[in-house]
Amino acid sequence: MSASAVSPSAAQERASSTLHGRVSLASERWPEQTAVAMDGERLSYAELEAAGNRLARLLIERGVQRGDRVCLLQPKSPQAIVSMLATLKAGGVYVPVDVASPAVRVQRILDVAEPRVVLAGQAAGKLAGELRIEAEWGVVDGAKNGEPADGTADEGHRQRERKGAGFGAAEAAAKDDGALPTETAPHDAAHILFTSGSTGVPKGVVITHAMVTAFLDWALPYFGHRSGDRISGHPPLHFDLSTFDIYGTLSSGGELHLVGPRVLLPAQLARFIRENELTQWFSVPSTFAYMVKGNAIEDGDFPTLERVIWCGEVLPPAVLAHWMGRVRRPSYTNLYGPTEATIASTYHTVTEPPRDTSVPIPIGTPCGGEDVLVLDEHLQPVSAGETGELCIAGAGLSPGYWRDEERTRAAFLTQPGTGERVYRTGDLGRRDERGTLHYAGRVDSQIKSRGYRIELGEIETALSALEGVGECAVVAVPSEGFEGTLICCAWSAKPDAELDPPKLRKKLREALPSYMLPARWLQMPELPRNVAGKIDRRGLKERFAESARNA
């Protein structure tokens, strides 16, 4: 063997260091098996790989280079998975966008992401028509059964003509489907997930290949993924959770069953699990509760299920007890973790149905390669049993927010003692004597004022209950004075309400202890809203902070 030759195992190792490389390895091993299925449409591993290679060549031809963004304006579909893989194969970074979002919000994401190419689905044709797209864009999900179902493709077509450039599924189909060389390094970005936050400016979390492969290296052996697994794809593709569905399945030879747009009712979700004989169901707790409430789960249901996993919210123990009582075979695992550390950072597998449903389910212990610290406000560890902020360190950490130094610096810090880089989750938690972590609410809704711990939400609830109050928002602003933190309230009165500020304060005094009473009041005709339509708390905070400085 010559010195320059790459040994097969080295090539394999290199392929394993990227997400698309792992899918390619699986495609070599299990070409005939189903990779992705939805609504009767199926792609085998060989087909997935070939379609990805063809579209990647088209992307490269249209200028995509290593590190360039490709925005995906596509509904959940096998084609959307092909688009993700094609982007990675071309060296690019995909940005999945929720096609149901208002055009204003999508526009902001496009403006910030600066994609080289936009890959749209026909269903997003109307949305695309409302956008100002600087990049080249094309429609990649060729008309199903020949003809589009409605006028959206025409709309897309008109757009394309107006833009002059653009491409369709036919251009990709004409490309060569052989493997492409890849220059991607493990710490290159693979995708950027935009979360809306409260400020109206979308926040893009950069997720690298290495972050995801580190999670998979723990998760796949832990959960025992294998070829032939039939795994749900329930969360939308712009959710971090879907990353595990996609790459967990497609790197281990399993079938990814995407839950399509017509599977909506509790009974339909249950039928989906049954008829596809799923081995893994992974979703958010509200879905679990929804299925219980809809009484969709029979006794002894889902006999093929081996793993039930949830993440993203707190699962009510009563809901878990119901599931475990009726679906007895699978293991039940709670995952916890923010997008900033991709998919999950801790896990807790529940072995017995909860008997006392008032005891919350722990978030557990760190996943392999991750470290979770419970820190005080000076980033010093608190003792076991004490509540502090959950901070994450280790292999899963994002390099930061896309082109947002300020937010990155605010959220990703260096722990003074160890010099370790940590992400502040904004979640409170505690570690018990046995080392198990427990979730204890959000940091930002809890403040300390004059030594008291105060939940801002509690003040808002009390205010909203008062007659005549239309809307209200309570925010905390740091102050120089002895209070440490000023509680500030913006509110509006209902149209016919006879309510003035002194009256309101008097009424609130009857409902709350004095240390919870806001110190600053601002009556407004209506409260300011951000682009997502939510009350603009950050804007209000800035306004109060300014007036506090001027005072």
Partner 1 sequence: MPEAEIVERIERIFSDTLSIAPPAPDVDMIEAALLDSLGLVTLLFEVEQEIGVQLPLEALEIDDLRSVQRIAQLVARMQGSEQGGNSKEAGGRASSGAGDGLVGADTEKSNKAPTGGAGDGPVDSDTGEEAGT
In the range 200-239, which residues lie near partner 1 by CB under 8 A?
234-236, 239
Measured from the CB atom, is 64 or 320 closer to partner 1? 320
Dist. CA 547–CA 206, nearest whole Å: 36
Quick one: which of 304, 287, 250, 278 has its CA closest to 81? 250
Dist. CA 168–CA 157, nearest whole Å: 9
Near partner 1 by CB under 8 A: residue from 472, 535, 543, 544: 535
Counting Cα atoms < 13 Å in the Cβ hemisphere of 201 gives: 9
Is residue 522 within 8 A of residue 544, CB to CB? The reply is yes
Q: Is 182 exposed, middle or buried (0-12, 13-18, 19+ CB in 10 A)?
A: buried
- For residue 526, CA distances in Å to 192, 200, 427, 469, 523 come to 35, 18, 30, 11, 8
Measured from the CB atom, is 421 or 534 closer to partner 1? 534
Near partner 1 by CB under 8 A: residue from 368, 369, 381, 426: 426
Minimum distance from residue 215 beta carbon to partner 1 (Å): 11
Helices and strands per DSSP (H, E), number in the chain: 17, 25
Please write down the HEC assignment for all residues of 493-529. ECCCCCCCHHHHHHHHHHHCCHHHCCCEEEECCCCCE
| 539 sits near partner 1 (criterion: CB under 8 A) | no
> Which position has the token pair 């897309």?
156
Near partner 1 by CB under 8 A: residue from 46, 179, 284, 413: 284
Interface with partner 1 (CB under 8 A), residue total 82
| 353 sits near partner 1 (criterion: CB under 8 A) | no
The residues in 462-481 that bind partner 1, with binding defined as CB under 8 A, are none
| 110 sits near partner 1 (criterion: CB under 8 A) | no
Near partner 1 by CB under 8 A: residue from 289, 308, 391, 463: 289
Minimum distance from residue 13 beta carbon to partner 1 (Å): 29
Minimum distance from residue 12 beta carbon to partner 1 (Å): 30
Concatenated DSSP letters for 187-208?
TSEEEEEEE-TTTSS-EEEEEE
Near partner 1 by CB under 8 A: residue from 21, 285, 362, 394: 285
| 328 sits near partner 1 (criterion: CB under 8 A) | no
Minimum distance from residue 294 beta carbon to partner 1 (Å): 4
Measured from the CB atom, is 344 or 374 closer to partner 1? 344
Minimum distance from residue 296 beta carbon to partner 1 (Å): 8
Near partner 1 by CB under 8 A: residue from 108, 116, 209, 322: 322
Using only C-alpha atoms, the chain has a radius of gyration, in whole angstroms, of: 25
Query: 237 is written with which tokens?
Result: 């593709």
Measured from the CB atom, is 314 or 548 closer to partner 1? 314
Near partner 1 by CB under 8 A: residue from 91, 156, 338, 362: 338
The residues in 113-152 that bind partner 1, with binding defined as CB under 8 A, are 123
| 387 sits near partner 1 (criterion: CB under 8 A) | no
Near partner 1 by CB under 8 A: residue from 94, 332, 439, 544: 439
| 163 sits near partner 1 (criterion: CB under 8 A) | no
* Residue 334 φ then ψ, to 5°: -95, 125
Q: Is the dihedral of CA 38, 43, 49, 50 positive or negative?
A: negative
Near partner 1 by CB under 8 A: residue from 421, 538, 547, 548: 538
Minimum distance from residue 163 beta carbon to partner 1 (Å): 24
Near partner 1 by CB under 8 A: residue from 340, 370, 389, 404: 340
Amino acid at residue number 65: Q
Measured from the CB atom, is 104 or 384 closer to partner 1? 104
| 444 sits near partner 1 (criterion: CB under 8 A) | yes
Planar angle of CA 199, 202, 207, nearest 5 degrees: 135
| 485 sits near partner 1 (criterion: CB under 8 A) | no
Counting Cα atoms < 13 Å in the Cβ hemisphere of 135 gives: 26
Is residue 386 within 8 A of residue 374, CB to CB? The reply is yes
Minimum distance from residue 6 beta carbon to partner 1 (Å): 37
Q: Is the dihedral of CA 350, 352, 358, 359 positive or negative?
A: negative
The residues in 3-22 that bind partner 1, with binding defined as CB under 8 A, are none
Quick one: which of 353, 357, 350, 346 has its CA closest to 323? 353
Measured from the CB atom, is 57 or 537 closer to partner 1? 537
Near partner 1 by CB under 8 A: residue from 11, 318, 359, 384: 318
